[in-house]
A and B are shown apart, each in its own frame.
Chain A
C-alpha cells in the first residue's frame, strides 16, 4: 500500500483518536458511554477497548430503547447530530435514572457538531437542565489503509428521495476538516446533484473560514504581545515577528492559518454522487471482498458466518470473522478476482503442507537448522487456521457463483448491459424471479439495471412489472417503488437511451483479453463508470472539459473548479506522485475500491487515491435503503375474523350494552349450577 496515502489516513486516525480520548478525559472519573449505533460499530477502528478502560470508561453500550443500569455517576452520550431521534432515547435513559433516583452527570456529545435542533429536542424532553451539551468533530473513521468512511448510511436515499441535504452538507464539512489538516485542495471535480451541494457548501465554508481567519491571525498576534509601531520598517518587522511566532509558539504552528501556508498534501478532489453511477452498484463484482460482501454482508470489517454450512463444524469458534485490513495476507487476496484466488490459496496451502512434512527431514540436521525450522513451522502453524478459513470461504463463494440460479442472473445481466436481447424477454425473466419470491433486491437489481440502461421502461411493461412486484412482495412496497422512482433507479421510458454512447465514450466494456489487466477486472469486463470518471480527469487532455457531451448524458451537473490558494506553492515536482481524494456520496462498492487501486498501478503511481465515502454499499444495501423501514415494523392488519369482535363492531348490540351485560352473564354462568 502506498505510504503517502497511508500517512494521511494515519494522521486522521490519530486525530480522531485524540479527539475522542480528550473528550473522555474532560469528564474526570468513571463513566458509562452510550453510543450511536452508527458509531459503536466502527469505534474499534480508532480505539481499543483497553483504551476506553484506561480513560475511565466502565462500560459502553449502543444507545437504544432499552435503558442501561450502571452505578457510575457519569454518563456520556455520543450521538450524531443528524440522527435526531436518538435524543429521545437519551431522554428516556435520563428519565429512567431519575425514576430510580440516581443522580448522574450527563454529557451529551454531538458528532460532528451540536445543532440547534438537538438542543431544542433535548429541551423539549425536559431533561436539558441535567445535561451538559458539547460537540466532537469526528468526521471520518479510517476503515482501511486508503479508505476513510464517514459511516453515515442512507445518503443516497435521504438526498435523492427525501431531498434532505444533510448528507452532502456533512460530507462537505468532513472535506473541510481534511483540508484544514492537509491544506486546501487546489483542483476540484464534482458531478451529480449531491456533488453540486458539496461544492457549494465547501465554498461557503471556505469563505467563512477566511473571514474567521482574519480574526484568528490577529488573535494569534495578541498572544505574542508586542506588535510593531508603524515608524519602523513595517514589512521587515512583520517578518521578524512571524519568524518568532513560528519558532516560539508550537501551538500557533498547529493553527489552520499556518497549516495552510504549507503545500497542499492532497492535490485533487473528485466528488461523485452515487446517482451518477448506479451501474457500478447494480452490476456484479467478482473480487474476493465484493463476493464476501454480497454473500455475507461485511459490517465494519466483520462478517457473520454463523449461517454458513462450512462454519458449522468449526465447533465453538467465533461466529464472526474479522477481515482485518491490517492482515497482510488478506490485503494480498481481497482485491483478487475470484478466479485468481483459487490457485493462490492452493499454493499457500501447499506451502503450509510442505512445511509440515519437512518435519521428518529436519530431525537429522543441526540445531541452528532446527531452530530455523521451528520458526518457519510456527509461522505456518499460525497462518493455518486463517488460510483454512479463507479456503472454506472461497470455496463457498465459488459454489455460490456457479449455481444455476446465479448463472441465470448473470446471463440476464449480461443481456441487459449488452442490450443484446429485447427488453421484453429480460422483463419476463425478472418477472419469473419475482414470482418465485426470490430476495426482493435481486429482482429489483436487474429491473433497475434494465431501466437505467434503456433510459426507462415502457409504461405498459413497467406497470405490469410493478404490479407483479407488489403482488409478490406485498403492498408495503408501494413506498419502495415510489422511492425508487424518485431516486432515479426506476423510471418510465422517456426519450432515447444514451447507454450505448455512454458505453462508448467512457469505454465501459473492455474486450476479454484486456479485461484482466484494466480496471475492468473487478467486474469481469465492466469498467466502473465512477472510476473511469476519476481516470479521465487526468487521461483526457483537458480533463472533464474534453468530454462535456458525454458528461451531459449522466445525471446531474458536472463541475470543475480551482481553489486558488495564494500561500501554497504553485507547481509541484513533476516526478512526485500526487494524491487524489475520491469522495463517494452515497457509498462505494468493493469493486470500485479494487478498481481504483488497480488504476493507481496502471498510472504507474503518478497518482495515488485516497477514498472517502459516506458508507460501503452493495446492491442489497441500496435497495434496503429504498424500503421504508417503519412500514415494515407495523403490526399486520387485524382481519375482522374474531367473531365476537365482529358482532361488537357490526350487528351485535352496542358496546355499552354489551359491556353492561357481560359481567352479569359471566356471573350467571358461574352461579347457575349451585342455584339449581
Chain B
C-alpha cells in the first residue's frame, strides 16, 4: 500500500500516476515547445519554441495548442506571432503570452484571443524585453537597458503600468522573480533580481536594495504557491530558502555541488520541498531528464526520465507532466501517514482495521475499537482528512471508517465537515474523469473555491456541469450564466434577436443582480442591437445601462445611432446622475460638448422631441457651455429649443467679457434686440421681465455713451481726481462727479437719465458728504425744500461733527420726538425736553422693535 512512499529528510513523499498521457504520439513535444501548465489541475498550453531547432514533422504551420491535464487536445489555433518571451496562466485561467516587444496577448482556454495591449511604449525604445516574470495578476518585464516595467493587470496597461526604480548593473541579470502584492487591489509589487555579479536586489517603484544574500550569483528563484517562501539557487550550486514575510531572512541552506547548470525548471512542491528539473547530457550524447525532489537538510530524491517533462506547482504538491504519464508528487499528508504508515497502530489505523474486521464478518471487530475509545473522535476526524487526500476506493473506505467510528460516539461530531468532505470528494472525483480531466485535489478545491472552479468549467464550455455544481453546493450561478449568455450570443447565429433574448431572460430571471449590461455589451459587439437594448431594459444599474447605450450609439448607421442616443439621454435624465448626463451628452455631441466640432444640432434635435422630460439635459448643456464661456453656442442651442429668454441671457453674458467700448455697445444692442423679441409661449411674467431687460440694455447703452463722453470731457478739461466712469453704475457715476466737484455735470447727467428728485437728493447728499464739501451741502439743504426730509442732512452733519449746520435744520424735522432725539444727540437736553413736551407718544412698534426695546 505504501510502497510508493519515499523518505526525504524525515518526511514521507509519494509520487503517483494520475493519468497515462494521451499526447505520447510526439515524444519531443514538451522539449520543442514553450509549455505552460495551469495550476488547480488546469490545462496546458504549448506553442512551438522559436529558439529550439525543429525537426520537420507533419504540418509546418505553427499552432497554439491547449491540452487537458491528461494530454488530450482541447483546442488549437494558428499562431502567427513571433518573439514569444514567456507564457503563463492568469488567476482567471486565461493564457497570457508576453512578447519581446512588450506586447501582451491573452487567450481563453478555447484559444480565442481576448486582450492585446502593450505594457509600455518605452520598452520598445529600450530595445525590447529580455526577460519576463509572470504572476497570476500581472507581469514584470526586464528591458534590454535593464529597466523593469511592472504591469499589475492582465487586461490593460495604462494606469496599471509602473516603471521601477533604476538598479544600475553592467550586465544582464540572471533571473527575475516577482513578489506579488498582498491583495489584488494593491499595486505594491516587488521584484527580486539575481544579478550576474552576485548580489541579489529587491526593486520596487521607488527604491532598490541589496538583500544581502551571499554565495551568489543566483540563477533561479521560485516562490512557493502560498507566497511565503522563496527558493534561490546559485550558480555555485548553493540552494537557499528565504522567508518572504520575515524580511527575506534565510531559513535553510543546502549545497548541491553537482548542479551548476541552470535547471530547466525549479518549482515548489506545495510549501514543503523543491522540485528541480535538469537536463543532462549522457556520454552517449542522448539527453537524460532528471527530476530532483527535496531540499530540506540537503536530502534529494532523484527520478530519471527518458522523455521531457513539465512541472506545475500546486498548493499541495507538484504535477509532473511527462511525455508518457502525468504524475503527482506530494508530501504524504500526516493523516494518511497515520492511517497507512507501515505498522501504524495510531487510532485512525485501528479504526480502519476495525471496519475491515467488521466488514469481513468478524464478530469481535469491536475489540479493535475498545483500546482507542478515548481517541475515537480524533480518529474519525483524521479518517475524514485522509479520505480527502486519497482516491477511490481508498477514500470511500476511509469515509466509511469515519462513519463506522461515528456510531460509537455519544454526541454527533462535526456533521457538516463530514458532509462537506463527501461533497468535495465527489466533485473532485467527477472532475478527474474524462472529458473534463481536471485532476484537482480536495485541498486545491478548498483554495480555489466553488466560484473559481465554476468559472473555469464555464470557460471550458462545461456550463451545465458548472451550474449543477453551483446548484448542488448552494452557490450563485450568476457568473456561469453570464459566461454562458456571452458565449451563446457570440456563437449562436441561427437565432433571431427576440428568440435569443427570450432564451437568455428565461435563464436569468432566477438570478438577481446579474449583469444585464455586460451581456448587452457583448450583444452590441456582435452587432445585435435589438437584443442589446431589450436586455438593457432589464438592467437595474443605470450607470451600466447608459454606458452600454453610449457604446451602442457609436456603432451602426445613423438611424441606429439616433435611437440609442435617444434612449441613453432619456435614461440619463431619469437617473439625475450628472456624470451619466455628461456621458450621454458627450456621446450625442460626438465627444465633448465643449469641443470645437461638437454636434450641438443633434443634441438640440433630440432634446426638442421631448423638451419637458429632457429639461434637465438642456439645462445642463446650457450651463456647461456657459461655464466654458461658449456663450454663442449656448445661445444657438437655446434658440433651437425655442427658449428665447435663456438665449438672450446667454448673449448678455458675452457683453461682460468684452472690454472694448464699441464692441460692447454692439453686443448691448444685440442683446437689447434679443430681449425685445416677444415669445408667444412665455408667461406674462416672463414677457414683462424680457421687456424690462430690453429697456435695461437700452439704458445701459445711454449710460455708457454718456460715461465715455464724460471721460472725453475730463481729458479735455483736465478734471481732477478719478475720472474713470465707463462701467460704473449710474449712482456711482453721479457720486464720483459730485465728489470731484463737477456738480453741474452731475445735474446734467441726472436730467438725461431721468433720475427722480428723491433719489438724486440722496445721492447728492452722499456725494457732497464724501467730498467733505459741507458748505455746498448746507447750501443745497437750504436752497430748496427737500423732497426727502432733513434727517439725512442732519445725520450727515452730525457724523462729521458739523453741529452748527445740523442745529439749524432740526426744526424742519417732522415729529417732536425725533426733534428731541436730535437735540439729545447734540447734548441739548433742554431743547429736547421742550420739543418732547410738544410732541405726542411714539406709535406702537412691531414685533422686532419691541424685542429690542425689552432688550435694552
Residues of A bordering B, CB below 8 Å = 26, 28-29, 73, 81-82, 85, 105, 115-117, 120, 124, 129, 131-133, 158, 162-166, 168-169, 197, 200-201, 204, 207-208, 210-215, 218-219, 221-223, 225-230, 232, 237-238, 240, 284, 286, 338-339, 398, 401-402, 407, 410-411, 413-415, 418, 420, 431-432, 435-437, 456, 459, 463, 466-468, 470-476, 478-479, 482, 485, 491-492, 494, 509, 512, 524-525, 628, 630-631, 634-641, 643, 649
- Bound Cα distance from A638 to B578, whole angstroms: 39
Q: Which residues of A contact B660 (CB under 8 A)?
A: 637-638
- Bound Cα distance from A226 to B416, whole angstroms: 9
Q: What's the minimum C-beta distance from A595 to chain B, rounded to whole angstroms?
A: 16
Q: What's the minimum C-beta distance from A517 to chain B, rounded to whole angstroms?
A: 14
* A226→B424 contact, CB < 8 A: yes
Given contacts A212-B513, A215-B513, A339-B854, contact A637 B664 (CB under 8 A): yes
Interface flag for B55 (CB, 8 Å): no
Interface flag for B472 (CB, 8 Å): yes
Q: Which residues of A contact B656 (CB under 8 A)?
A: 476, 630-631, 634
> What are 15 contact pairs spanning A and B, CB under 8 A?
A85-B627, A164-B623, A197-B576, A218-B478, A222-B450, A402-B856, A418-B847, A420-B846, A466-B696, A470-B696, A472-B732, A494-B685, A636-B659, A639-B707, A639-B726
Chain A, residue nearest B448 (CB): A225
Say which residue of A115, A286, A638 sits within 8 Å of B851 (CB atoms).
A286
* B416→A240 contact, CB < 8 A: yes
* B578→A132 contact, CB < 8 A: no
Say which residue of B423, B446, B662, B693 sits within 8 Å of A482 (CB atoms).
B693
Interface flag for B56 (CB, 8 Å): no
Q: Which residues of A contact B431 (CB under 8 A)?
A: none
Q: What's the minimum C-beta distance from A660 to chain B, rounded to whole angstroms?
A: 24
Chain B, residue nearest A472 (CB): B731
Q: What's the minimum C-beta distance from B527 to chain A, rounded to whole angstroms?
A: 24
- Bound Cα distance from A491 to B686, whole angstroms: 9
Interface flag for B540 (CB, 8 Å): yes
- Bound Cα distance from A636 to B656, whole angstroms: 8
* B851→A524 contact, CB < 8 A: yes
Say which residue of A211, A432, A470, A471 sits within 8 Å of B513 (CB atoms).
A211
- Bound Cα distance from A158 to B512, whole angstroms: 37
Q: Give a binary string over B89-107; 1 marks a CB under 8 Å from any A CB, 0 the rest.
A: 0000000000000000000
* A117→B731 contact, CB < 8 A: no
Say which residue of B620, B629, B652 sits within 8 Å of A478 (CB atoms).
B652
- Bound Cα distance from A525 to B854, whole angstroms: 13
* B541→A211 contact, CB < 8 A: yes
In order of increasing CB-CB distance, the 5 nearest A-B pairs are A163-B619, A214-B513, A218-B476, A414-B846, A227-B474
Most chain A beta carbons < 10 A, residue from B474, B512, B688: B474
Say which residue of B420, B576, B615, B855 sits within 8 Å of A200 (CB atoms).
B576
Q: Which residues of B contact A509 (CB under 8 A)?
A: 847
Say which residue of B732, B766, B847 sits within 8 Å of A512 (CB atoms).
B847
Chain B, residue nearest A103 (CB): B163
- Bound Cα distance from A226 to B475, whole angstroms: 9
* B450→A463 contact, CB < 8 A: no
Interface flag for B79 (CB, 8 Å): no
- Bound Cα distance from A225 to B446, whole angstroms: 7
Interface flag for B419 (CB, 8 Å): yes
- Bound Cα distance from A191 to B699, whole angstroms: 41
* B619→A475 contact, CB < 8 A: no
Q: Which residues of B contact A639 (CB under 8 A)?
A: 661, 707-708, 711-712, 724-726
Q: What's the minimum C-beta distance from B688 to chain A, rounded to whole angstroms?
A: 5
Interface flag for B603 (CB, 8 Å): no
Given contacts A163-B619, A201-B576, contact A227 B475 (CB under 8 A): yes
* B576→A637 contact, CB < 8 A: no
Q: What's the minimum C-beta distance from A32 to chain B, rounded to whole angstroms?
A: 15
Interface flag for B752 (CB, 8 Å): no
Q: Which residues of B contact A413 (CB under 8 A)?
A: 848
Interface flag for B704 (CB, 8 Å): yes
- Bound Cα distance from A29 to B753, whole angstroms: 67
Interface flag for B579 (CB, 8 Å): yes
* B659→A637 contact, CB < 8 A: yes
* B708→A640 contact, CB < 8 A: yes
Say which residue of B513, B576, B712 sits within 8 Å of A169 (CB atoms).
B576
Q: Which residues of B contact A468 (CB under 8 A)?
A: 759
Chain B, residue nearest A228 (CB): B474
* B847→A525 contact, CB < 8 A: yes
* B688→A467 contact, CB < 8 A: no
Given contacts A435-B731, A459-B688, A476-B656, contact A218 B475 (CB under 8 A): yes
Q: Which residues of A contact B704 (CB under 8 A)?
A: 637
Given contacts A204-B542, A402-B852, contact A222 B664 (CB under 8 A): no
- Bound Cα distance from A402 to B849, whole angstroms: 10
Q: What's the minimum C-beta distance from A127 to chain B, rounded to whole angstroms?
A: 12
Say which residue of B205, B451, B653, B762 sits within 8 Å of A628 (CB atoms).
B653
9 other A-B residue contacts (CB within 8 Å) besides A218-B476, A339-B855: A120-B586, A131-B159, A402-B856, A475-B703, A636-B659, A636-B724, A637-B660, A639-B711, A641-B708
* A638→B659 contact, CB < 8 A: yes
Q: Give a binary string over B444-485; 1 marks a CB under 8 Å from any A CB, 0 the rest.
A: 001001110000000000000000000111111010000000
* B620→A474 contact, CB < 8 A: no
Interface flag for B24 (CB, 8 Å): no
Most chain B beta carbons < 10 A, residue from A120, A225, A226, A228: A226
Given contacts A211-B512, A230-B474, contact A471 B731 (CB under 8 A): yes
- Bound Cα distance from A135 to B577, whole angstroms: 17
Q: What's the minimum C-beta distance from A466 to chain B, rounded to whole angstroms?
A: 6
Q: What's the minimum C-beta distance from B166 to chain A, rounded to whole angstroms?
A: 12
Q: Which residues of A contact B762 (CB under 8 A)?
A: 432, 435-436
Residues B532-548 near A (CB distance < 8 A): 540-542
Interface flag for B592 (CB, 8 Å): yes
Q: Give a binary string over B475-511; 1 marks a CB under 8 Å from any A CB, 0 the rest.
A: 1101000000000000000000000000000000001
Say which residue of A166, A407, A471 sits within 8 Å of B852 (CB atoms).
A407
* B729→A163 contact, CB < 8 A: no
Q: What's the minimum C-beta distance from A460 to chain B, rounded to whole angstroms?
A: 9
Q: What's the minimum C-beta distance from A301 to chain B, rounded to whole angstroms?
A: 27
Interface flag for B728 (CB, 8 Å): yes
Q: Which residues of B contact A420 (CB under 8 A)?
A: 846
Interface flag for B649 (CB, 8 Å): yes
Say which residue of A85, A132, A225, A472 sits within 8 Å of B730 (CB atoms).
A472
Chain B, residue nearest A493 (CB): B685
Q: Which residues of B contact A131 (CB under 8 A)?
A: 159
Interface flag for B720 (CB, 8 Å): no
Chain A, residue nearest B186 (CB): A26
Say which residue of B450, B540, B652, B732 sits within 8 Å of A208 (CB atoms).
B540
Q: Which residues of B contact A286 (CB under 8 A)?
A: 851
Q: Which residues of B contact A211 (CB under 8 A)?
A: 512-513, 540-541
Q: Which residues of B contact A164 (CB under 8 A)?
A: 578, 619-620, 623
Q: Which residues of B contact A473 (CB under 8 A)?
A: 729, 731
Q: Which residues of B contact A636 (CB under 8 A)?
A: 659, 724, 726-727
Q: What's the minimum C-beta distance from A437 to chain B, rounded to whole angstroms?
A: 6
Q: Which residues of B contact A207 (CB under 8 A)?
A: 540
Q: Which residues of B contact A437 (CB under 8 A)?
A: 731-732, 766
Q: Which residues of B contact A219 (CB under 8 A)?
A: 451, 476
Interface flag for B583 (CB, 8 Å): yes
Q: What's the minimum C-beta distance from B799 to chain A, rounded to whole angstroms?
A: 11
* A411→B845 contact, CB < 8 A: yes
Interface flag for B657 (CB, 8 Å): yes
Q: Which residues of A contact B703 (CB under 8 A)?
A: 475
- Bound Cα distance from A179 to B158, whole angstroms: 35
Q: Which residues of B contact A228 (CB under 8 A)?
A: 473-474
* A116→B583 contact, CB < 8 A: yes
Residues B770-816 near A (CB distance < 8 A): 788
* B729→A225 contact, CB < 8 A: no
Chain B, residue nearest A402 (CB): B852
Interface flag for B616 (CB, 8 Å): yes
Q: What's the minimum C-beta distance from A488 to chain B, rounded to whole angstroms?
A: 11
